[in-house]
Amino acid sequence: MTHNLLFLPGDGIGPEVMREARRVLEWLGAKRGLKLTITEMLIGGASIDMHGVPLTDAVIAAAQNADVVFLGAVGGPKWAGVAHDKRPEAGLLGIRKALDLFANLRPAVIFDALLDASSLKPDIVRGLDIMIVRELVGGVYFGQPRGIEILPDGQKRGYNTQTYSTHEIQRVARVAFELARARRKALCSVDKANVMESSIVWRETVTELHQAEYADVTLSHMYVDNCAMQLCRAPKQFDVILTDNLFGDILSDEASMLTGSIGMLPSASLGAEINGKRAALYEPIHGSAPDIAGKGIANPLAAILCVEMWLRTSRRDLAAADLLAKAVAQVLQNGARTADIATSGQKALTTQEVGDAVLKALEN
Ligand code: NAD
C-alpha cells in the first residue's frame, strides 16, 4: 500500500524542521520498504504571499484526499497587518475544520537525557509518558451564542457558551479509550462536573461508554483544578487524560513544560474513521519561531517525532515507531542537540546536523 502524504511546511522554521522530517520518511521508504508519495503545498503566510489567502481550496482538496497531513507551523510578523480572518493562523483553523479533526492528541514524554531540562525535579518526571486527548472542535471556543454587547448602563458584557452533546463526547472519548487500551489501560476523564452542566453530561457520557464498550480500561474522573495540581505534584499517575477543548488547551501546555522544550513535542489531530481510514494531521506543538527562523538552528526533533507518532497512532507500525524513538533517544544521549536543549559547555548543532544524527542512529 502506498501512503499519500501531504506536506504543508508553512512559515518561519516550519520548512526548516519539516525538511528533516521528510528525510526521515525518505529513509523509512528506502530502508524499510514504506511506500510513500509526498506532495508539498503552501499554507499560512506562504500561501498568502502566493495566493492571497492562508488556505486554498486546492490544499483542502489535497488534504481530504491524502492519507495523512504533516504541517510545520504558520505565522510571523510579516503578516501581522492582515485582516483577522485572513491571517496565517486562520489557515490552520480552516484545515482542522475542513477535515473535522475533533481529537487532539498531545503526548508528554520525557527523554532520560533531558531530565535536567524539565521544570520539575528529575524524580518526579523520570519515565513520564502521558497522552492528553483534547476535544478540538466544540465547547466554549465554538459554542453559540457568543459576543460582546453594550448594557443599558453603558457597561460591556462579553459572553461565550459551553455546550457538549452526547455524540461530540462519545467520539472523542472513543479515541481516548482506544489509546488507553493500547497503552497502560488507564483513562482519567477531566471535567468540572461539580459546577458545570456541560461537565455533568460529559461525565455521564464517558461513564456510560466505559460500561458499554471499554470495561477492560480503568476509568477515573478528576476535576480540572485538581488535575492541574496533580500534573505538577505527581504526573506519572496518569496514562491517558481525556478532556474538553478549554481544559485541554490549558492542561496540555502545562504538561508540555514538564518535558523541557517546546522543540521536542509532536501532536496529532484526528477525525472520524470512515471506511477504515481516519483523517489525521500531525504537527509539532511549537509555532514558526520568527526569532530564530532562517538561521538553521531550530530543533527538528518535534517534527521528526511527528513521523514517529504517525507510525504509532495511524499506521500502527510499532516496530518502525520504536526504532525511530530509539534513534532520537540515542541522539539526545550522545549530546547531538540544538541550542534550545544543549547543556552549558555543549556545542549546539544545526537543524540539519541533528537530522543527520537521527539518520545515522537509524542506520546503526
Ligand atoms: P513559538 O512556538 O513559535 O516560539 C516560542 C519560543 O520557542 C521562541 O523563542 C522560539 O524560538 C522557541 N522555539 C519554538 N520552536 C522551536 C524549535 N523547534 N527549536 C528551538 N526553539 C524553538 O511561539 P510564538 O513565538 O508565540 O509564535 C510565533 C508565531 O507562530 C506566531 O505567529 C504564532 O501565531 C505562530 N504559532 C503557530 C502555531 C502553529 O502553527 N501550530 C503554534 C503556535 C504559534
Tell whether the model's pLDDT for residue 301 goes beyond 90.
yes
Least trusted range by pLDDT, from 85-94, 135-144, 206-215, 340-349: 340-349
The residue whose CA has the least distance to atom 42 of ligand 1 is 287
How deeply is 186 buried, as exposed, middle or buried, from its count of CB atoms within 10 A (0-12, 13-18, 19+)?
middle
**Which among 143, 176, 142 has a CA at the least distance from the CA of 161?**
143
What are the C-alpha distances in Å from 51 to residues 55, 185, 287?
Answer: 9, 47, 22
> DSSP readout, 259-306?
TS-GGG-EEEEEEEEETTEEEEEEEESS---TTTTTTT----HHHHHH
298 lines ligand 1 (CB under 6 A): yes
Question: Residue 295's pLDDT is what?
Answer: 98
pLDDT band, residue 1 (cuts 50/70/90): confident
For CA atoms 252, 254, 260, 262, the dihedral sign is positive
Tell whether the model's pLDDT for residue 79 goes beyond 80.
yes
Catalytic residue chosen out of the listed positions 141, 185, 223, 356: 141
Question: Residue 91's pLDDT is what?
Answer: 95
132 lines ligand 1 (CB under 6 A): no
Q: Is 192 an annotated catalytic residue?
A: yes
Report whether 274 contacts 100 (CB < 8 A): no
Distance CA 66, CA 268 (A): 15
Cα of 50 from ligand 1 centre, angstroms:
22
Tens digit of each residue's pLDDT (9 = 90 or more) over 18-70: 999 999 999 999 999 999 999 999 999 999 999 999 999 999 999 999 999 99
Tell whether the model's pLDDT for residue 260 goes beyond 80.
no
Distance CA 351, CA 299 (A): 6
29 lines ligand 1 (CB under 6 A): no
Tell whether the model's pLDDT for residue 117 goes beyond 80.
no
| Residue labelled with grid coordinates 504538561 | 255
Instruction: Report H helices in the chain.
Output: 14-32, 45-51, 57-65, 88-98, 122-125, 166-182, 197-213, 224-233, 245-258, 301-313, 318-333, 351-363
Distance CA 33, CA 72 (A): 25
Q: Is 67 an annotated catalytic residue?
A: no
For CA atoms 296, 297, 303, 304, the dihedral sign is positive
Question: Residue 343's pLDDT is what?
Answer: 81
The 10 Å CB-count burial string (b at 16+, else e) for 98-126 is: bbebbbbbbbbbbbebbbebbebeeeebe
Distance CA 72, CA 95 (A): 13
CB within 8 Å of 184: residues ≥ 6 apart:
239
Cα of 288 from ligand 1 centre, angstroms:
5
Cα of 284 from ligand 1 centre, angstroms:
10
Catalytic residue chosen out of the listed positions 85, 216, 253, 322: 253
The residue whose CA has the least distance to atom 6 of ligand 1 is 289
Answer whether 0.75 is exceeded by the pTM: yes
Three-class secondary structure of residue 70 per DSSP: strand
pLDDT band, residue 296 (cuts 50/70/90): very high
**Which among 94, 106, 95 has a CA at the least distance from the CA of 131?**
106
Tens digit of each residue's pLDDT (9 = 90 or more) over 162-208: 999 999 999 999 999 999 999 999 999 999 999 999 999 999 999 99
The residue whose CA has the least distance to atom 26 of ligand 1 is 287
Catalytic residue chosen out of the listed positions 85, 112, 225, 322: 225
Q: Is 253 an annotated catalytic residue?
A: yes
The better pLDDT of the pair 257, 5 is held by 5
